[in-house]
Chains A and B, each alone.
Chain A
Amino acid sequence: MAGLELLSDQGYRLDGRKATELRKFQARMGVFAQADGSAYLEQGNTKALAVVYGPHEVRGARSRIRHDRAVINCQYSMATFSTAERKRRPHGDRKSTEMSLHLKQTFEAAVMTQLYPRSQIDIYVKILQSDGGNYSVCVNAATLAVIDAGIPMRDYVCACTVGFVDETPLADLCYAEEGGGVSSLALALLPRGGQIALLQMDARLHQDHLEALIEAAMTACKGVSKVLDQVVRQHLQEASVPSAE
């Protein structure tokens, strides 16, 4: 991508944002009536739909039952029309399986599973349009969906993908930035306690820069948590109006 600067001299990125700015956030909870909890989230051009079923009895393998906690089952899949090049299989490939495992790990840290022994919580996330930061948008959408389902969590789980370019951390990467040779790091955070639920990076980065990058990611996640909180409160206000009348 010759000629496209990821960070210009004035400090503007490809889409006009500053280094620490997040993309436009639009969310809605309770999108589907049939599921126990559902949420739709748009971060810039990345659109994700998360649906939660549960807690319910463990389906399938009886060996998966845990006597002291609920089992969390996640599936990440992408719509075949979500990427610029059409995807042949929505899920089942290695990348989707890995993402599903990451989501499972993230939510096992946050959901209070000890309250529901011998049961299963299903979290299904679908990416409708992919423009970078897929994992983070999925985690944020899934958080809203779990809250919509009424399943208790320790804290909001907020995620953000950050990259390092020209000695500056960039928050909330889009697709062009992710592919442009940026070392990207995905972080899922429980903001109140500052606990990190998942940290993933598979790029080269100098050790000295790591702390700055993680700090930037945590700040971005705290920003995301404020927005998620606002969305949840607004949803509750809208939902409680009819009963007030």
Chain B
Amino acid sequence: MATVQVSEAEKVYILHGIRDDLRVDGRGCEDYRHMEIETDVVSNTDGSAKVTLGDTAVLVGVKADIGKPRPMVPNEGYVEFFVDCSANATPEFEGRGGEELGTELSNTLYKVFNNKHSVDLKSLCISAGEHCWVLYVDVLLLQCDGNLYDAISVAIKAALFNTKIPRVHISADEEGGKEIELSDDPYDCVRLNVENVPCIVTLCKVGHRHVVDATLQEKACSVASLIISVTHKGTITCTRKVGGGSLDLESIFEMTEAGKRVGKALHAPLMKLLQQEESLGKARQKVGFLG
């Protein structure tokens, strides 16, 4: 991640502020920064979303391809994640510099989505054992200002909501094999149910308290963080502790409860916003990076 140098005096200042529930930019310990979400930004993809969280900017593109299902689960499709930490964010990511962080982020995403309920994989099956939809979720990190996991998970949820998978018809051809036909109408498509897609909340332990949506400066003052992915019902799908410091058991319970609370509260406004954006339909002015 892009790092900042923080002096001892600044660290003490941030620590004391957080102790009194007042962060450097005036937020409370469990407040998010200003978040902007826009879907359907890249027209080459089947679904896309751009999320700006403070200064962190993430672009997610989803492409649906027909592939062979995994041998262990022949009647399910699957999702592949790829995170590209581009040099745009910081010169340290040039060449292969961003690969380490990218691999870590995509491995965590695999763990978060590695359960039966997040994405309905059975709906991605076309014909059992032969064809299925593979969703390639590509995350592009454009600017790095802390709290990458949260921004990425919100962007993935928005992009999956926006994904339009073309409807297919399976017909038998002359030799007895199966032929897949895509429907001619470009608007005839299947949408995914993203109700159960989890959102990731990162909680950083600073001093004796924890903060949600830490900036780079706050991250430099924290010893350890906890990453929790929460669904809209409050169910946790994945927990990870990151960072070089250690957390005691009490803190972990406290942070888990706070994470569940914050995560649960994130889903309802997000879905409402996505549905509102969708309802604007063709009248919506596409802004992308131009606004």
By a beta-carbon cutoff of 8 Å, the part of chain A in contact with chain B is: 26, 28, 31-35, 38, 40, 42, 45, 47, 49, 51, 53, 59, 73, 75, 77, 79-84, 86, 90-92, 122, 124, 126, 128-130
| From B44, B62, B289, contact of A82 by CB (8 A) | B44
Residue contact A80 to B289, C-beta cutoff 8 Å = no
Residue contact A129 to B44, C-beta cutoff 8 Å = yes
Residue contact B142 to A86, C-beta cutoff 8 Å = no
| From B90, B138, B288, B291, contact of A80 by CB (8 A) | B138
Assembled-state Cα–Cα distance A45/B286 (Å): 14
Selected A-B contacts with CB under 8 Å, 8 pairs:
A40-B288, A47-B288, A80-B138, A81-B42, A86-B65, A124-B91, A126-B142, A130-B44
Residue contact A81 to B63, C-beta cutoff 8 Å = yes
Q: Is residue B55 within 8 Å, beta carbon to beta carbon, of the partner chain?
A: yes
Contacts of B289 in A (CB 8 A): 28, 31, 40, 49
CB distance from A238 to the nearest CB of B (A): 12
Q: Is residue B211 within 8 Å, beta carbon to beta carbon, of the partner chain?
A: no
Contacts of A83 in B (CB 8 A): 44
CB distance from B147 to the nearest CB of A (A): 14
| From A86, A91, A92, contact of B136 by CB (8 A) | A86
Q: Is residue B172 within 8 Å, beta carbon to beta carbon, of the partner chain?
A: no
CB-nearest residue of chain B to A81: B61
CB distance from A43 to the nearest CB of B (A): 13
* 9 nearest A-B pairs in the assembled complex, by CB-CB distance: A81-B61, A40-B289, A124-B87, A80-B138, A51-B88, A81-B45, A81-B138, A90-B84, A28-B290
Residue contact A126 to B61, C-beta cutoff 8 Å = no
The residue in A75, A79, A81 that gathers the most chain B C-beta atoms within 10 A of its C-beta is A81
Residue contact B43 to A80, C-beta cutoff 8 Å = no
Q: Is residue B59 within 8 Å, beta carbon to beta carbon, of the partner chain?
A: yes
CB distance from B59 to the nearest CB of A (A): 7
CB distance from A156 to the nearest CB of B (A): 20
Inter-chain contact total with CB atoms closer than 8 Å: 95
Q: Is residue B82 within 8 Å, beta carbon to beta carbon, of the partner chain?
A: yes
Q: Is residue B94 within 8 Å, beta carbon to beta carbon, of the partner chain?
A: yes
CB-nearest residue of chain B to A131: B44
Residue contact B290 to A40, C-beta cutoff 8 Å = yes
CB distance from A53 to the nearest CB of B (A): 5
Residue contact B86 to A90, C-beta cutoff 8 Å = yes
Q: Is residue B237 within 8 Å, beta carbon to beta carbon, of the partner chain?
A: no
The residue in B44, B63, B96, B140 that gathers the most chain A C-beta atoms within 10 A of its C-beta is B44
CB distance from B115 to the nearest CB of A (A): 25
By a beta-carbon cutoff of 8 Å, the part of chain B in contact with chain A is: 2, 42-45, 48, 55, 57, 59, 61-63, 65, 82, 84, 86-91, 94-96, 136, 138, 140, 142-145, 288-291
CB-nearest residue of chain A to B137: A81
Residue contact B87 to A51, C-beta cutoff 8 Å = yes
Given A32-B142, A79-B59, A80-B82, A122 contacting B94 (CB threshold 8 A) = yes
Contacts of A49 in B (CB 8 A): 88, 142, 289
Residue contact B86 to A124, C-beta cutoff 8 Å = yes
Given A32-B143, A80-B138, A129 contacting B42 (CB threshold 8 A) = yes
* Given A28-B291, A51-B87, A79-B61, 7 further pairs, Cβ under 8 A: A34-B2, A34-B55, A35-B88, A77-B86, A124-B94, A126-B86, A126-B140
CB distance from A163 to the nearest CB of B (A): 22
CB-nearest residue of chain B to A33: B55
CB-nearest residue of chain B to A53: B91
Contacts of A129 in B (CB 8 A): 42-44
CB-nearest residue of chain A to B86: A126
Assembled-state Cα–Cα distance A26/B55 (Å): 23
Given A33-B55, A80-B82, A81-B61, A75 contacting B87 (CB threshold 8 A) = yes
| From B42, B88, B136, B140, contact of A32 by CB (8 A) | B88
Assembled-state Cα–Cα distance A187/B33 (Å): 44
Contacts of A77 in B (CB 8 A): 86-87
CB distance from B14 to the nearest CB of A (A): 20
Contacts of B43 in A (CB 8 A): 45, 129
CB distance from A110 to the nearest CB of B (A): 21
Contacts of A126 in B (CB 8 A): 86, 88, 140, 142
